[in-house]
Amino acid sequence: MFKAIILIGGPLKGTRFRPLSLEIPKPLFPVAGFPMIYHHIAACCQVKGLKEIILIGFYQPNDALNKFIISAQQEFKIQIRYLQEYTALGTAGGIYHFRDQILTGNPQCFFVLNSDVCGDFPLQDMLDSHKKNPDGSIGTVLATEATRQQSLTFGCIVEDQNTHEVLHYAEKPETFVSTLINCGIYLFSPLIFQTLEKAFKSNLEENYNFDFNIPSKEVIRLEQDVLIPLAGDGKLFVHQTKRFWSQLKSAGAAIYANRHYLAIYQRTGSKQLAKNGENKPQIIGDVFIHPTAQVHPSAVLGPNVTIGRHVVVGEGVRLRESIVLEGATLQDHCCILYSIVGWHSTIGVWSRVEGTPNDPNPNKPFAKLEIPSMFTTDGKLNPSITVIGSDVQVPSEVIILNSIVLPHKDLAGCYKNQIIL
């Protein structure tokens, strides 16, 4: 019997996902028609013998999260529970804190997935690889190749090419270590709790000085406190994937993930994708349209577009590389390119909303999506995906370019490279 744990984190200051995360917990933000963690759950349910999925985070229980869990349980016919941390406990603190719940039923091993990554997760292949590890092995880390320069911003793995043992692990090193990077997806045996206990007690002793400037002594960092000590000890192994994988930490990353999840629908023959037909809009490439949406037959959608619940798309609208969220209205002949249109927002007649993608360099093998800083060194806004927050009114015949619009705004004109507060 196997289990899966999805680490969903909690509300944090300064998130790069605002203003989208102001309305809904980030893990529930819809990508390719479904919340981010829906794709994690769907991947977990492909593993034979997986009986339970546990969400761990420090979000207060809310209607959106409860409704999602109930809906996912009904769809996938699997038990899903949310365990709330009393404070932020780090990437491994929650796992140790809820060890009794995780070990109930004596699982052979359990997956751990970070919610802020996306990909075509090869979990069954990872499990098969894990079973081939020598006796006494504790875990398997999913890894992928990056460019030499980009590897410095990830956890870097040095492996034995023959046994695939992790010989060395460095989290965001200052100098080059390896182009093999940690994907934030793990498979652990229950023996991992011995290592977590050592880390917990060590942190407890080190921080036993009542210094309020030091982080909570109960925080356990999976990468620094667990992976680094296990590396080179014959207990940690790596499973490398060449499938799609990316971090999901910004609006630009959401557009990038949307494209790839739609491509997975296409490859797997999913019925989620819209098709061309009589009295239907023109579909180019991969497009998801929610059944409750109203789309005029003269609209042209795609490639890589997601239309959410109860969206209204008017006559002659053009959409490309964009996500339109629930309840939005796109009035006649407007054009939306590389943008996210927020919940219940309205784009006026003949208006144009456009952003700039920051896709990986196609000329560099293994290049990953980079999350650029919001501002340039001279204080200007970096060109990026345009984000229209919830309940925003964009008037007719204006252009919104490379801008971020916070919720509940009535715009009066054109904007370029601005944050509209």
pTM: 0.91
Triad 306, 310, 313: Cα angle to 5°: 65
258-271 average pLDDT score: 90
Where does the pLDDT of residue 25 fall: very low under 50, low under 70, confident under 90, or very high at 90 and above?
Answer: confident
pLDDT of residue 17: 73
**Mean model confidence pLDDT for the chain:** 89
Which domains are assigned to the chain?
A: 2-247 (3.90.550.10), 273-420 (2.160.10.10)
**Is the pLDDT confidence value at 201 over 90?**
no
pLDDT at 365: 76
| pLDDT over 60 at 283, yes or no | yes
Most confident of 9-13, 225-229, 293-297: 293-297
User: 339-394 pLDDT, tens per residue?
Assistant: 999 999 999 999 999 999 887 777 777 887 777 777 777 777 777 899 999 999 99
Query: Residue 106: is it exposed, middle or buried by C-beta count within 10 angstroms (0-12/13-18/19+)?
Result: exposed
CB atoms within 10 A of CB 104: 10
Instruction: Give the Å distances, CA to CA, from 225 to 89, 171, 411.
Output: 13, 11, 48
Task: Check residue 214 and give its pLDDT.
Answer: 56
The pLDDT score that the predictor gives to residue 14 is 47
**Least trusted range by pLDDT, from 23-32, 201-210, 225-234, 391-400:** 201-210
Q: What is the pLDDT of residue 374?
A: 72
Q: Determine what percent of the chain is predicted with pLDDT higher than 90.
A: 62
Contacts 24+ apart (CB under 8 A), 199-204: 199/92, 199/96, 199/225, 199/226, 199/229, 200/93, 200/96
pLDDT band at 234 (very low <50, low <70, confident <90, very high): confident
Task: Kindly tell me if the per-residue pLDDT of 65 is higher than 80.
Answer: yes
DSSP 111: E
C-alpha span between 410 and 49 (Å, rounded): 52
What pLDDT score does 23 carry?
80
For residues 362 and 348, is the Cβ–Cβ distance under 8 A? Answer: no
- pLDDT tens-digit map of 132-184: 888 888 999 999 999 988 899 889 999 988 899 999 999 999 999 999 999 99
Q: How many CB atoms lie within 10 A of CB 408?
A: 13
Taking phi first (over 0 means left), then psi (-120 to 50 degrees means alpha), and beta for anything else, what does residue 51 get? alpha
State the Cα angle at 370 between 366 and 376, rounded to 5°.
145
Give the integer Cα–Cα distance in Å for 147 and 129: 25
pLDDT greater than 90 at residue 87: no
pLDDT at 212 over 90: no
Q: Is the peptide bond before 229 cis (omega within 30 degrees of 0)?
A: no
CA angle in degrees (0–180, nearest 5) for 16-335-333: 145
